[in-house]
Structure 1
Amino acid sequence: MGHHGWGGRPPASDAEARQRIIDATARCIDRHGVTKTTLSDVAGELGVTRQTVYRHFGRISDIVAEVAAQGAESFVELMIAHLQGITDPAEAVVEGMVFCVRTIPAEPRVSLLLQLGDTTAFGRGATTKDAIAYGAKMLERFPVDWAAAGIGEDDLNGLAEIILRLLTSLLQHPNDAPQDEARLRALLNRWLAPSLITQTGA
């Protein structure tokens, strides 16, 4: 549509075009919900044709996944800020998981990860090599001296996998009653934290 599209402000680069498509999709999801947002909605939001959107993304699900991924990045920043000052490995992991279970369902962009099926961070995708590596990188950002705690790089990958598997279960299959944070914290302190305390003691 040339200059008649993009609100009269065509993007200066492919990267800018992709980001504007992602942002437009996020607005459509906020307005219509993820299941009712179509590629036509996104194109209409931008004032371009569907073919223009197709040049940058093959499917609406690809765009929604990018919306979720960017929401996840913002969420990680919030979690790291929440954990500042918690230097004990066991406490940091437990509090991080409690924060995730409490916050993710209430964060619209992050909760998309729960709605996109088996290929996402909290579906079967949680067990992929890339997802585990991402989880390990996130753990490295915790205010914890992992090396001093006797937890090496390979250990962080294993810890990230366990955390992702547990979070997948907790988020996809919550209790019938709202999750009680004190009970969840006690559960994690009883069954997850000891493995980290053992490493620290060793």
Structure 2
Amino acid sequence: MAHHGWGGRPPASDAEARQRIVDATARCIDRHGAAKTTLSDVANELGVTRQTVYRHFARIGDIVGEVAAQGAESFVDRLVAHLQGIGDPAEAVVEGMLFCVRTIPTEPRLSTMLQIRDAAAFGRGATTADAIAYGARMLHRFPVDWAAAGIGEDELSGLAEIIMRLLTSFVEHPSDPPHEHDRIRALLDRWLAPALRPPAVLAHGGR
């Protein structure tokens, strides 16, 4: 591992070097956006050569993917905190989706999840097996007793896939003119929420 450059503070391990490259890439994305961030930008940010960066990542897309993955973890923490106290599965899913629709487009690091194929959660990779499994793990963290709501473990993957597909559509392909959030909530309440409510509740008109 090279010990020159790095702003005079060489990393102590390969793991530290990789994390500092990821952090530098995140800063570049904040300034320029993911699409305009190059490997040269990252190397300049760190005060190292391109070859030094290549020792740890084969291409800029791999680094951006790691930025997206780490951003996804932080984002899910915030999402779960936002949902605390909402135990109803339909309400939690609708509110969670609205939180995503509001938040993802406004933050450059989260938006990288929409711009790369191998992102951990959203975007064009949102329907891969790994992404759906990630979505199911995310649902496990919701403050919802899924079993008590009649939603089995084997059904969470299907729910995760539907959520990922809908989120990708809402965020990447907004309506023209864009829907207000109240309109999106109304759509989800009408067409998604009923699938998450027990049949007995639906049969009695919600009573």
Q: Is TM (by shorter chain) over 0.5?
A: yes
Distance 1:200 1:81, change over 3 A: farther
Q: State yes or no: 1:126 paired with 2:129.
A: no
Instruction: State the Cα deviation string for residues 3-42 of structure 1 (Å, max 9, x = none).
Output: 4311111111111100000011111122222222211111
2:177 match: 177
CA distance in 1, matches of 2:200, 2:104: 29
Give the root-mean-square deviation of aligned CA atoms: 1.8
On the 8 A contact 1:151/1:199 being kept in 2, the answer is no
State percent identity of aligned pairs: 77
The 1:61–1:96 alpha-carbon spacing in structure 2 relative to 1, beyond 3 Å, is same
Query: Which residues in structure 2 correspond to 1:88-99 (within 5 Å)?
Result: 88-99=88-99
- Residues 122 and 164, structure 1, Cα contact 8 Å, conserved in 2: yes
Structure 1 gaps of 5+ residues are none
Please say if residues 89 and 149 of structure 2, whose CA atoms lie closer than 8 Å, have aligned partners that are also in contact: yes
2:115–2:124 Cα contact (<8 Å) kept: no
8 Å CA contact retained: 2:101, 2:170:
yes
Deviates further, 41-50 or 78-87 = 41-50
Shift of 1:199: 6.0
The alignment partner of 2:126 has SS state of: helix
Aligned to 1:59: 59
TM-score (norm 2): 0.91
SS of 2:150 mapped into structure 1: coil
User: 1:21 and 2:21 equivalent?
Assistant: yes
- Alignment TM-score, normalising by the size of structure 1: 0.93
Shift of 1:94: 0.6
1:161 equivalent in structure 2? 161
Q: How does 1:47-86 map to 2 (within 5 A)?
A: 47-86=47-86
Report the Cα offset of residue 178 of structure 1.
Answer: 3.0
Instruction: Give 2:85's aligned amino acid.
Output: G
